[in-house]
Chains A and B, each alone.
Chain A
């Protein structure tokens, strides 16, 4: 059970993982649109203003594609094994599955009035839930990376940290540019 929760990629990868992953990402897009939940970075979640549905789709796929590019490149540099793009794409898509829950949590009204909310216990509880699901997603991403690229030890850890930081920065810059050019008017 523990293996299925944190490293399902031992059993499922490639096209199967891609299929399930894209399905869950699509559901997350729809829920995020209605709950006004933004995924503007690989490990970022924000709650706030409304946005068009295409932006919800763009945010999900921006994160996913930037992650694929960064982790695939890092895998090619660090790994001695042959790496298949479909394995990286599929496992990283499925790794985003936990983000479905934060999208649902986005319906909580308190998260949309944080600057003025005074229910500290409520804010703390929701924040804890968000952090836990984010940690779960990061664990899945790490296992997706190590299984798809056959990396272990310090190479895996350093490669993952560098890739996820770069993916976070690049995905945020892209989303910011899209907002600025298409939604700021």
Chain B
């Protein structure tokens, strides 16, 4: 069963940070307060889109064929991701 990584607080909807990481080899635990990487803050569907986009060498035409969507639909998905990335970057810069 693949678990989804939560990145938004279910209580107050703020961004979640990482408090501890564990090494699966030697069971060392690293504790602190780490921000989630930008890409981990996206939904699984958005992450899949980004990965597929990179694998298609940035071709929207190939993405449209793969997703069975029209070119402007894929273009709009990409533009919406760009807006989200820029909003995340602004939030990170302001902290």
Contact = CB atoms under 8 A, between A and B. Distances in A.
Interface in A74-108: 80-82, 84, 87, 91
Interface in B65-95: 68-73, 75-76, 79-80, 83
Contact of B73 (A82, A84, A147): A147
Interface in A1-50: 9-14, 17
B73 A81 contact: no
Contacts of B71: 13-14, 84, 87
A87 B83 CA distance: 21
B79 A147 contact: no
Contacts of B72: 9, 13-14, 84, 87, 91, 147-148, 150
A10 B69 contact: yes
Query: What does DSSP make chain B's interface, helix, strand, loop or mixed?
Result: helix
Scoring B70, B72, B73, B79 by chain A CB atoms within 10 A of each residue's CB, the highest score goes to B72
Nearest to A79: B79
Contacts of A81: 75-76, 79
Contacts, number: 40
A91 B69 CA distance: 14
B70 A80 contact: no
A147 B73 CA distance: 6
Nearest to A7: B73
Scoring B70, B79, B80 by chain A CB atoms within 10 A of each residue's CB, the highest score goes to B70
A13 B75 CA distance: 12
B79 A150 contact: yes
A81 B82 CA distance: 10
Contacts of B76: 81, 147, 150
Scoring A9, A17, A80, A150 by chain B CB atoms within 10 A of each residue's CB, the highest score goes to A150
Contacts of B79: 80-81, 150
A14 B71 CA distance: 7
Nearest to A83: B72
A81 B80 CA distance: 9
9 contacts: A9-B72, A9-B73, A11-B70, A11-B73, A13-B72, A14-B71, A87-B71, A150-B72, A150-B79
Given A14-B72, A80-B83, A150-B75, 11 more contacts: A9-B72, A12-B70, A13-B71, A13-B72, A13-B73, A14-B70, A14-B71, A17-B70, A84-B71, A147-B72, A147-B76
* Interface pairs A-B: 4 shortest CB-CB: A13-B70, A150-B76, A81-B79, A87-B72
